[in-house]
A and B are shown apart, each in its own frame.
Chain A
């Protein structure tokens, strides 16, 4: 870990300004991902702006009948929130499928959206990785890629977004609220929040430098069976090989997003009309143009079968 300076501002705009004016600064919330990456010198901020004390830790009902989740609401608290459990089951289930109890106690809503890939080459500083070191190349392309992206990837990067929560947020049509250094607020649809790697895989999201997430809002609840199905090699404390976040009616109609397959939660709204026709009709469209490696081609079949399981569950 490189030496860094540290400050605790008193309000969100001040925090954003602090990061914007300090070269190589980063926000720190739960620190469950950032600190690990700093120890490995994958992240090397020289200044940390602690946003834990900014009062962004409430879950409130919105006038539209949705929920506004403060950026600092811990994963444990959000998963256990009575309103989330009642009306946004897919979110509660996704949160509880992630990490471990200890990590969820610390991890925050905004931090979870910003967690970085778990690609093994991103983690090994002796290896080429365009995301870690732009221009160095991508060892994963012809390396070990069983867990990596099958769609939306590029010749520069086949990393995945590793999280569960964001996949549920995606199917819920969440909106990310931010404030920048000048105090200007912005709303970013979750669909536009994470980006594809393209030729700039070092940039995970559409946040501008210094822009601070203050909240994530959910629209009013969507009826249906809320399902989060995470498929993994071991039963707990493992990243998704594939996950399905779905809100489905008895006839199979509804909405679905996929995790573990791309650089962002993967959802193709245009395919959802086919949900009543069954999983294959949907995944054929959702994964059209997929470019899997030999190691991870199984994810296409797995996504289809996992969606089929979700449809069965909804119909039962």
Chain B
């Protein structure tokens, strides 16, 4: 199905199933431990052996020699594959660093061997017996030091945000110089880890020259093609299966060393082999959100109309790596005739920087929305009002190009009212509650809505059960449930008559999960397949498909009512289709919007910061399932709070690695950090997004929330910290005297 004109009335609009806060249909499996995650799929292949990955102990250089003799003699060892035995292997889609093969070490904990043994413990113990002789060379590990040599580059996060190295509208410098009120500050954000619960994990089994990988991956079609390329096997000989993913956040968009080394280990051991990355390897072997240094300049008239806005970001990466696209939102979020956005990239020899939940926007809004708060204060304007005053309904770089639907102002006003924003004391450092200095902060949320081609197959059997098959993944987001809701709505059956099967590369290729495009795109693909199935049903029953009504498990036309299953009584009916998006998303700008409001307490003595309450108001088209969407936004708010207050991969700039490479050292917020969260969705549809009229919410929740936290800290203390995360040591010197 080609989607190139706005969606009209369709069966989804009935909202009998779609739009309801249905419990996740996979919830019972997850809560009873029966959802099969990659590493626990003991039943898929007999005789599984265990692989343990050895990571490089230097950040840059060459591997001279690997001595495996002692390891090979260790109990239970079946095979050892080292990087020196393989020429450097091809990279998969969007891999900047090489995953395996050859003697070059590009980054710390790059995989250089896999030890395969009968048990995990044996493999791990033997891995410690592998001795490696390195020829290290010095590298560049310090973004601040390398920033001055950074070069302008175009950026593409692979998840939809991107642009040229430098983009200009009007005359920024001229307008800024003439602006009566000017703002110019520089900020930094930290390297962050996805820190998903489930580490990267794969079981691989060869059958002749065919290989199956039971893995944990967000993008099956990408992974399928990538593994074929990396392993040098025809695509038809590779199968990926990833029905459950224990969190990805962008860290599992691409094939990583677990999959490659499970396949190589299995080949060498002639046994199925399972490999999970240890937590240190998740942090230093895989990818992370790169640190940034960002400069924001805003020029405005005295009444708060922005006349000039510039946002420049510098990040670092390995050769072939991309910049963090932190300036992307600044092209679209606020009005202003004169604009400049620029991306610069420095060469760093740290592990690969790549997509992490809302790549670009998450660190970009962390900075832009603090800058907006600072500018509002400079103008003597309420920060909500300042944003409303600079709202735009068109793309500021192309005023003929409207937003498909934009209600940022609705999010701001609704949120302000609900949160009690009018009670905020605009003068910072004034409100005290016992030991706590209390502050309120807010920020706008913005993330583009990408649409991606997505396919599905829908089958109907004689009992009236509808089975959906697509390689779409559920990374904890609720894909199973919204896909079931879509099929139930389309076929007129209750939810329990729908079976959803996901994550298998043998199924039709979907959008996959990333860039918050998965929910809308994959359900639109299911919609398209269901339209075809409805036609097949009508035809089988001899009903004109235009007259057929699918309701209550029946197909009705005129006075006739036939149980749906009857259409398949003589054999299963199957229909497959792919939703494809024309240039509809280019004619109008599709984005999602929100407003975050946060109250924090800052301990007057120790400067410990604790969130007291948070509210997000989101406008993201039709909300397919308010319950799972709320969970997505809440998760984003937690992650954004982490970015604001504690999450930082601490760079050892001498040795070139992230030193705090476990969950004891890399702290993410826990329940005790955020006692109260609330999410409100504006009731809206976007007919330009898809037949579902939905947009993404999975990343919107993290966008801007960190800035709202930071602005609340400022309101509480009067201290503006511009290097994130805001840990207490950055406040202490400027805190008021201990009481």
Bound together? yes
Which residues of chain A have C-beta atoms less than 8 A from B654's C-beta? Answer: 139, 142-143
Which applies to chain B's interface (DSSP): helix, strand, loop or mixed? loop
Contact code string A287-304 (vs B, CB < 8 Å = 1, else 0): 000000000001001101
A142 vs B665: C-alpha distance when bound (angstroms): 18
**Chain A CB within 8 A of B739 CB:** yes
Which residues of chain B have C-beta atoms less than 8 A from A301's C-beta? Answer: 732-733
B641 (CB) vs chain A CBs: closest residue: A234
A233 vs B610: C-alpha distance when bound (angstroms): 9
**Chain B CB within 8 A of A120 CB:** yes
**Chain B CB within 8 A of A82 CB:** no
Known A120-B661, A127-B655, A143-B659; judge A2-B125 contact (CB<8 A): yes
Contact code string B651-678 (vs A, CB < 8 Å = 1, else 0): 1101100011110110111111100000
Interface size on A, residues (CB 8 A): 39
Contact code string A95-138 (vs B, CB < 8 Å = 1, else 0): 00000000000000000000000101101111100000000000
**Chain B CB within 8 A of A3 CB:** yes
B646 (CB) vs chain A CBs: closest residue: A233
- Are A120 and B659 in touch, CB under 8 angstroms? yes
* CB-contact partner of A305 in B124, B606, B668, under 8 A: B606
**Chain A CB within 8 A of B729 CB:** yes
Question: Closest approach, in angstroms, between the C-beta of B697 and any C-beta of chain A?
Answer: 26
Contact code string A131-154 (vs B, CB < 8 Å = 1, else 0): 000000001001110100000000
A308 vs B732: C-alpha distance when bound (angstroms): 14
* CB-contact partner of B124 in A39, A142, A146, A306, under 8 A: A39
Question: Closest approach, in angstroms, between the C-beta of A259 and any C-beta of chain B?
Answer: 14
A233 (CB) vs chain B CBs: closest residue: B646
**Chain A CB within 8 A of B11 CB:** no
Q: How many A-B residue pairs have CB under 8 A?
A: 108
> Which parts of B721-739 form the interface with A (CB within 8 Å)?
727-729, 732-733, 735, 738-739
A231 vs B435: C-alpha distance when bound (angstroms): 14
Question: Closest approach, in angstroms, between the C-beta of B172 and any C-beta of chain A?
Answer: 37
**Chain A CB within 8 A of B410 CB:** no
A296 (CB) vs chain B CBs: closest residue: B729
A142 vs B667: C-alpha distance when bound (angstroms): 22
Known A144-B659, A146-B729, A309-B435; judge A302-B646 contact (CB<8 A): no
- Are A308 and B124 in touch, CB under 8 angstroms? no
**Chain B CB within 8 A of A258 CB:** no
Contact code string A216-252 (vs B, CB < 8 Å = 1, else 0): 0000000000000101111111110100000000000
- Are B124 and A1 in touch, CB under 8 angstroms? yes
Known A1-B124, A126-B57; judge A234-B667 contact (CB<8 A): yes
- Are A144 and B124 in touch, CB under 8 angstroms? no
- Are B672 and A235 in touch, CB under 8 angstroms? yes
**Chain A CB within 8 A of B680 CB:** no
- Are A233 and B606 in touch, CB under 8 angstroms? no
Which residues of chain B have C-beta atoms less than 8 A from A229's C-beta? Answer: 606
* CB-contact partner of B661 in A124, A143, A236, under 8 A: A124
**Chain A CB within 8 A of B650 CB:** yes
A2 vs B664: C-alpha distance when bound (angstroms): 23
A244 (CB) vs chain B CBs: closest residue: B606
Which residues of chain A have C-beta atoms less than 8 A from B572's C-beta? Answer: none
Question: Closest approach, in angstroms, between the C-beta of B15 and any C-beta of chain A?
Answer: 40
- Are A308 and B738 in touch, CB under 8 angstroms? yes
A146 vs B58: C-alpha distance when bound (angstroms): 22
Which residues of chain B have C-beta atoms less than 8 A from A241's C-beta? Answer: 728-729
Contact code string B669-697 (vs A, CB < 8 Å = 1, else 0): 11111000000000000000000000000
Known A143-B654, A279-B738; judge A232-B733 contact (CB<8 A): no
Which residues of chain B have C-beta atoms less than 8 A from A39's C-beta? Answer: 124
* CB-contact partner of A302 in B75, B121, B729, under 8 A: B729
Which residues of chain A have C-beta atoms less than 8 A from B608's C-beta? Answer: 231-233
**Chain A CB within 8 A of B158 CB:** no
- Pick from B435, B650, B668 the residue with the most CB of A within 10 Å: B650
**Chain B CB within 8 A of A312 CB:** yes
**Chain A CB within 8 A of B128 CB:** yes
Which residues of chain A have C-beta atoms less than 8 A from B603's C-beta? Answer: 309
A18 vs B733: C-alpha distance when bound (angstroms): 53
- Are A139 and B732 in touch, CB under 8 angstroms? no
Which residues of chain A have C-beta atoms less than 8 A from B610's C-beta? Answer: 235
- Are A305 and B667 in touch, CB under 8 angstroms? no
- Are A3 and B75 in touch, CB under 8 angstroms? yes
**Chain A CB within 8 A of B154 CB:** no
A195 vs B231: C-alpha distance when bound (angstroms): 54
A1 vs B75: C-alpha distance when bound (angstroms): 12
> Which parts of B123-140 form the interface with A (CB within 8 Å)?
124-125, 128
A239 vs B663: C-alpha distance when bound (angstroms): 12
Question: Closest approach, in angstroms, between the C-beta of B383 and any C-beta of chain A?
Answer: 27
> Which parts of A256-313 form the interface with B (CB within 8 Å)?
279, 298, 301-302, 304-306, 308-309, 312
**Chain A CB within 8 A of B27 CB:** no
**Chain B CB within 8 A of A46 CB:** no
**Chain B CB within 8 A of A41 CB:** yes
**Chain A CB within 8 A of B19 CB:** no
A238 vs B645: C-alpha distance when bound (angstroms): 14
Question: Closest approach, in angstroms, between the C-beta of A30 and any C-beta of chain B?
Answer: 17
- Are A306 and B605 in touch, CB under 8 angstroms? yes
- Are B652 and A144 in touch, CB under 8 angstroms? yes
Question: Closest approach, in angstroms, between the C-beta of B68 and any C-beta of chain A?
Answer: 17
A10 vs B646: C-alpha distance when bound (angstroms): 47
- Are A233 and B659 in touch, CB under 8 angstroms? no
Question: Closest approach, in angstroms, between the C-beta of A164 and any C-beta of chain B?
Answer: 15
* CB-contact partner of B655 in A118, A139, A304, under 8 A: A139
A233 vs B648: C-alpha distance when bound (angstroms): 11
Question: Closest approach, in angstroms, between the C-beta of A172 and any C-beta of chain B?
Answer: 23
Which residues of chain A have C-beta atoms less than 8 A from B673's C-beta? Answer: 234-236
- Are A309 and B605 in touch, CB under 8 angstroms? yes
> Which parts of A143-189 form the interface with B (CB within 8 Å)?
143-144, 146
**Chain A CB within 8 A of B163 CB:** no
A302 vs B728: C-alpha distance when bound (angstroms): 9
A109 vs B668: C-alpha distance when bound (angstroms): 28
Question: Closest approach, in angstroms, between the C-beta of A139 and any C-beta of chain B?
Answer: 7
A204 vs B739: C-alpha distance when bound (angstroms): 37
Question: Closest approach, in angstroms, between the C-beta of B601 and any C-beta of chain A?
Answer: 11
A306 (CB) vs chain B CBs: closest residue: B606
- Are A233 and B727 in touch, CB under 8 angstroms? yes
A270 vs B156: C-alpha distance when bound (angstroms): 62
Question: Closest approach, in angstroms, between the C-beta of B609 and any C-beta of chain A?
Answer: 9
Question: Closest approach, in angstroms, between the C-beta of B247 and any C-beta of chain A?
Answer: 18
A241 vs B665: C-alpha distance when bound (angstroms): 12
B611 (CB) vs chain A CBs: closest residue: A235
- Pick from B124, B605, B651 the residue with the most CB of A within 10 Å: B605
**Chain A CB within 8 A of B152 CB:** no
**Chain A CB within 8 A of B280 CB:** yes
- Are A234 and B732 in touch, CB under 8 angstroms? no
Question: Closest approach, in angstroms, between the C-beta of B83 and any C-beta of chain A?
Answer: 16
Question: Closest approach, in angstroms, between the C-beta of B132 and any C-beta of chain A?
Answer: 9
Question: Closest approach, in angstroms, between the C-beta of B669 and any C-beta of chain A?
Answer: 6
Contact code string A26-43 (vs B, CB < 8 Å = 1, else 0): 000000000000010100
Question: Closest approach, in angstroms, between the C-beta of B537 and any C-beta of chain A?
Answer: 53
Which residues of chain A have C-beta atoms less than 8 A from B58's C-beta? Answer: 126
Which residues of chain A have C-beta atoms less than 8 A from B738's C-beta? Answer: 279, 304-305, 308-309, 312
20 CB contacts below 8 A, A to B, read A1-B121, A1-B125, A2-B125, A3-B75, A118-B664, A120-B650, A126-B55, A126-B58, A143-B654, A143-B655, A144-B650, A229-B606, A236-B671, A236-B672, A305-B605, A306-B605, A306-B606, A308-B738, A309-B606, A309-B738
Given contacts A125-B128, A233-B667, A308-B738, 15 further A-B contacts (CB under 8 A): A120-B659, A121-B659, A123-B665, A126-B58, A139-B655, A143-B654, A232-B608, A234-B669, A234-B672, A235-B673, A241-B728, A241-B729, A302-B728, A304-B738, A305-B738
Those 8 A-B pairs whose CB atoms lie nearest each other, nearest first: A126-B57, A298-B729, A309-B605, A235-B672, A308-B738, A144-B659, A236-B672, A144-B650
- Residues on A facing B (Cβ under 8 Å): 1-3, 39, 41, 118, 120-121, 123-127, 139, 142-144, 146, 229, 231-239, 241, 279, 298, 301-302, 304-306, 308-309, 312
